[in-house]
Chain A
Amino acid sequence: MLKLIVCMKQVPKVSELPWDARTGTLKRELAAGMMNPACKHALEAALQLKHQWGGRITAVTMGPPAAREILHEAVAMGADGGVLLSDPRMAGADTDVTSFTLARAIEQTCPDFDLVLCGCYTTDSETAQVGPQLAQELDVPGVAYVEHLEIDGRTLCMRREADDFLETLEMDLPGLVTITTRRYTPRYVSMSGLQDAFGEVEIQTLDCDALGLDPVSVGMKASPTRIHKVYSAVAQKENVVLKGSPKKVVDALFERFGDRIGAALGKDLNPHEHAAVDGREDND
């Protein structure tokens, strides 16, 4: 029976970020949370392994108390239980400290795991670093960007596309993989299934004390990196607005940005002196 761990993250569900222009910060509390899409693919891969070999899937997340929701969602998809690492002192952790904290929790709650599965990246910070770093923390072999996996005894066989190569790799279990979003399309969860998952499922909540972690080893203070400044990329753009008939806007586009477009194309697109001879120019 396989013991599988799926690490996941709750990320803001936003199509437009609630950006506070005055303070220059993201109003995270206004953004409803959802399970990071790539984590769903990792869970799906785990579910398929469980279907084939039998086993138990534990979903693990670190986050504010609200992150519990994605653990219930994981259970609704087919996970057997969840572990929430939540402690205000854990807030602001970078990938180094996040992987440290996750590793200690996995060692405590499921020390004899066979495989840890992670999404290949998150939509909020997009670092793709926690998976590979977690493998280091757990001192197990790890492979990132896996698209297909099979178990043969105690060996995990994997396939991935990386840097223009199609690679086949293997490693002995226990190990860790991060799963891309190209395959393992997540299964659909019905509303009633989701409601059931909020019922009797056991979600274990652990803080620093329960994990036996010194608070100075977690959270922002323990993180080697510091966020100096965060700003809106949108606000950095000049955001020129052009309006009018299609012909008019296209003319304006070339007039103002013809050099830029031409440079990208590697062509000189500026009209030459005899351009007006072309009848097309005069018809408008």
Chain B
Amino acid sequence: MTESGKNIWVFGDYRNYFQNRVTLQLLSRARDLAPALDAEVCAVILGHELEEYVGEYIAHGAQTVYVMDDPVLKDYNVERYADLTARLAAVHAPGILLVGATDFGREFAPVLAKRLKTGLTADCIDLGIDEDGLLVQTAPSFGGNLIADIVTPDARPQMATVRPGTFQEIPHDDTARGRVVRLPLPEDLPVPRVRLISAQRLPQRTQCLEEADVVICGGRGMGTRAKFKKLFDLARLMEGEVGATRPVVHAKWAGHDALVGQAGRHVRPKILFSFGISGAIQHTAALSGADFIIAVNKNPHATMMKMADVAVVADASQVCSALIRELKARIRE
């Protein structure tokens, strides 16, 4: 073992670098946590033609970057990446290993955890260090209604996936210096059992809802289809996206693409407006990433009102209209 087993590793998930900055956000958090552990922050990056990302990781807080750059690694492959990362981790013994909760990360991290015979906490919304020096992994469950603090007392590394948008990235620092460790591709690389036949980048799809900073969700409490349409006006003003509950989609007030729920889209806006929604778990399960929730409903006892930061007890449609008027005035200012 070449290191003392305390360093913090961040897996470099760069494929959607311009859309998804979760690796940079994790490097930033790792830098916050490192002093308490006297640890170094390391990034691991596998793939091909990686120089751009290596530089970015250093500029965003990585002190060491382990790089394996080979045409064979060009396509993301869970088995191969997990195998290589597990071998690296076995040699260098990181104390903590963090992975962004992208689709890839959420498939890769459980496989990697098994290979390393360690625990894994999914989709964390916070990370800290407790008085014993353990990583406290804060994760939501029950659609964000419950929050659990989870630790991995004995197994190492302590592993977590973290939701994109949870932490702020450190501003790009051109003057930052880091160590780059280039590693050769092992000769006994296994042939992956899952083969990628084709991958095509999807055109800008309606996933804006998942990425939007402002999401305006409407339910049947809006009253009528015509009144529901006001939410689109509000969304335009706020440069946000409109989401809908299942009854609204069934009533065809909104398309299926707008469905926010377990069977639809999961959102994580900075601010979520919820108009006329009672809050069935099938809907609320998809809201756990929302930072700040403003709910409007005539019924103060609705679940949605209880899980809101601000519960506005009033007619949803009327409040929507008043909000549109007020915003127009304020934006004009």
Contacts and interface: CB of A to CB of B under 8 A. Distances in A.
B288 to A, nearest CB: 8
Interface in B78-112: 78-79, 102-104, 106-107, 109-111
B310 A15 contact: no
Looking at chain B, what size class is its interface with the partner chain? 35 or more
Interface stretch (B39-47, B55-63, B195-203): B195-203
B333 to A, nearest CB: 5
A125 B195 contact: no
The dominant DSSP class at the A interface is mixed
The dominant DSSP class at the B interface is mixed
Contacts of A240: 309-311
A261 B294 CA distance: 10
Contact of A250 (B113, B123, B270, B322): B322
A217 interface: no
B149 A233 contact: no
A23 interface: no
Q: Which of A26, A127, A170, A224 is the most central at the interface, judged by chain B CB atoms within 10 Å of its CB?
A: A224
Contacts of A224: 117-119, 152, 154-155
A171 B77 CA distance: 13
B110 A242 contact: no
Contacts of B310: 239-242, 253, 256-257
Nearest to A163: B103
Interface stretch (A78-86, A189-197, A206-214, A267-275): A267-275
A240 B305 CA distance: 10
A162 B312 contact: no
A246 B317 CA distance: 9
Nearest to A237: B309
Interface of A: 12, 14-17, 26, 37-38, 94-96, 99, 123-133, 135-137, 140-145, 157, 161-172, 175, 181-182, 223-234, 236-247, 249-251, 253-254, 256-258, 260-261, 263-267, 269-272, 275, 278, 280-281
Interface of B: 15-16, 19-20, 78-79, 102-104, 106-107, 109-111, 113-115, 117-123, 130, 136, 140-155, 192-202, 205, 207, 213-214, 238-239, 262-263, 269-271, 278-282, 285, 288, 291-294, 300, 303, 306-315, 318-319, 321-323, 325-327, 329-331, 333
Q: Which 8 residue pairs of A and B lie closest in terms of their CB atoms, listed nearest first?
A: A224-B119, A141-B193, A225-B119, A127-B122, A162-B103, A264-B270, A264-B271, A246-B322
